Structure 1
Amino acid sequence: MEKMKDAPVLEGEEPKSAAEIVEEVLKTEVKESTFLRNVGLQSSRNNSGKATAEVAAHVRVLEQKLERSELQAEVMQEELAAIKMKAE
Structure 2
Amino acid sequence: MNQEKLVDVYIPALVALLTRAEEIAKRPLSENEVLRIRDKATKVSQPLSGMPAFLKQRGYHDIYAPEAWEEWKLYREGKLDLSIGDDKNT
The interval holding the TM-score normalised by the smaller chain is under 0.3
Higher strand residue share: 2
Whichever structure has more helix as a proportion of its residues is 1
TM-score norm. by structure 2 comes to 0.25
Q: Which has the larger radius of gyration?
A: 1
Q: Report the TM-score, using the length of structure 1 for normalisation.
A: 0.26
Larger relative contact order, structure 1 or 2 (CA cutoff 8 Å, min sep 6): 2
